[in-house]
Amino acid sequence: MTSTFAPSQAASTTAATSAWATGATRDLRPGSRGPRPRSRFPRLHATQPPEDGSVQERGTCALWVGPAGPLRELAHDHATAVGLELVDAGSTNSSTVAVVLAQAEPPLADDLPMVPEAALLMLTDAPAISQEQWRSALENGARAVLRLPAESDSLLTHLARAARPRRRSLLLGVVGGCGGAGASSLAARLAAAATRHGNALLVDADPLGGGLDLLVEAPQHPDVGWQDVATVGSTDGEALRQALPVVDEVRLLVAGDGPGPDPSGLEHALHALEPAGGTVVVDLSPALVPVAAAHLDRLLIVVPATDHAVRAAARRLRQWALPHGLSSVAVRRRGPLSPSEVAADLRLPLAMSFRDSAPGAVPLLDVRRGGADRACRSFLSALLEAGGSGSTGGLRS
């Protein structure tokens, strides 16, 4: 979801009402108490994936749900600008990539169309967005709530992403639920597992970390790194990929001794890499998670199996206020809790659990049959078989 869902606003939303579903009051954020409904608008369509690990998308239409009037005209102009046809509700077909809803006050209508492949965007011409509208948006898995005409650029960005070519990268984020969780090591091992399915790229998006290049013993002073991203255009993703250094078949976007990415730099890079195909694994700092969330297909939160780590992860989840269905937990089995207990406490699906690798093992260079390497291989295979959106069922290694 875009920065339109500001953490300060979304974090104050502690319950959501589904008047058209069950009538129950629920807290929808990961890490909070109470069951959460499955999003009606999952990001990916569960079809057989291409062999190179890319994700297939399709579509030329945006579905309008709302009355005729100035707001519809604005939505029509934006859709046309990115090559989409805006059609009225009732015209849903397999080419629909976005549902654009003129949001009055919730609850939403019972007949809100279910379009599994589509992104739900809620529009309003009100000067401010009410708490009820925020709650309704979270309840229904909306990608964003946008005020027009003030947030015209954001609407164009969302519609343009929906209208992109069918083939694009599978973008996986990895972040620690607490300090020292081992997220960077797991990100590197996930990228190594992705080489079995095609191109793999590992992005160091933790500007305060020690550097993935040192972790995987990459050559120092790469010719291309974060310092070059600002000059990359939205159509230069493949050129950027080909220019990056390679370690054991995985391309690396790192900072070396220079500064790491800022929020705009990360968004710029992910925007360019998204259409390039293959798998992109992003090792994230906690501060950059909200920026990356709008681009990711799945976010893995690495949490050691301790009460201290679970509490820290729950606090981060509340601050991030991530879209429903984006996150799952990878449990590092180093503590008294079971993986299922960690997942239950955080109200997140269990993506995998793993034990620490042998001392001295270098991610990418030392790929093992078991441990975190096997967990990553199993997770990625299950994810691709499900088209990028299915549950992995709690893979263990």
Q: 13 to each of 23, 50, 230, how far by Cα in Å?
A: 17, 39, 35
Residue 160 has pLDDT above 50, yes or no: yes
Identify the pLDDT of residue 132. 80
Identify the pLDDT of residue 111. 53
Residue 276 has pLDDT above 50, yes or no: yes
Any idea which of 138-142, 302-306, 334-338 has the lowest mean pLDDT? Answer: 138-142
Residue 99 has pLDDT above 70, yes or no: yes
Residue 266 has pLDDT above 80, yes or no: yes
Q: What would the pLDDT profile of 68-92 be if each residue is shown by its tens digit?
A: 999 999 999 999 998 889 988 776 5
Q: What would the pLDDT profile of 311-328 be if each residue is shown by its tens digit?
A: 999 999 999 989 888 999
Question: How many CA atoms lie within 13 Å of 221's alpha carbon, on the beta-carbon side?
Answer: 0
Mean model confidence pLDDT for the chain: 78
Phi, psi of 42 (to 5 degrees): -60, 150
pLDDT class of 112 with cuts at 50, 70, 90: low
d(CA 115, CA 94) in angstroms, rounded, equals 9
Q: Which residues lie closer than 8 Å to 137 by C-beta, 6 or more apart? A: 5, 103, 122, 144, 145
Query: Could you identify the residue written with the tokens 């319950």?
Result: 15
pTM greater than 0.75: no
pLDDT class of 126 with cuts at 50, 70, 90: confident
Identify the pLDDT of residue 236. 77
Q: What would the pLDDT profile of 5-52 be if each residue is shown by its tens digit?
A: 333 333 333 333 232 223 333 333 455 444 333 333 333 333 344 455
Residue 158 has pLDDT above 70, yes or no: yes
Identify the pLDDT of residue 306. 97
Residue 221 has pLDDT above 70, yes or no: no
Q: Please, what is the Cα angle at 386 between 380 and 389, to 5 degrees?
A: 85
Average pLDDT on 164-180 reads 85
Identify the pLDDT of residue 7. 35
pLDDT class of 53 with cuts at 50, 70, 90: low
Sheet holding 144-147, edge to edge: 85-88, 61-65, 96-102, 119-124, 144-147
C-alpha 322: how far from chain center: 9
Name the most confidently modeled range: 160-174, 186-200, 226-240: 186-200
- Residue scoring higher pLDDT (283 or 96): 283
- Residue scoring higher pLDDT (268 or 114): 268
Q: What would the pLDDT profile of 345-376 be if each residue is shown by its tens digit?
A: 999 999 999 998 877 788 877 777 778 999 99
Residues 62, 97: contact at Cβ < 8 Å? Answer: yes
Average pLDDT on 158-165 reads 79
Q: How many helices (H) and strands (E) does the chain have?
A: 12, 18
Task: Quote the tokens at residue 2.
Answer: 């875009």
Identify the pLDDT of residue 34. 42
pLDDT class of 103 with cuts at 50, 70, 90: low
Q: What would the pLDDT profile of 371-390 be if each residue is shown by its tens digit?
A: 899 999 999 999 888 765 43
Name the most confidently modeled range: 97-101, 113-117, 285-289: 285-289
Identify the pLDDT of residue 4. 40
- Please report, rounded to a whole number, the percentage of residues in the chain having pLDDT higher than 90: 37
- Residue scoring higher pLDDT (336 or 48): 336
Average pLDDT on 227-254 reads 84
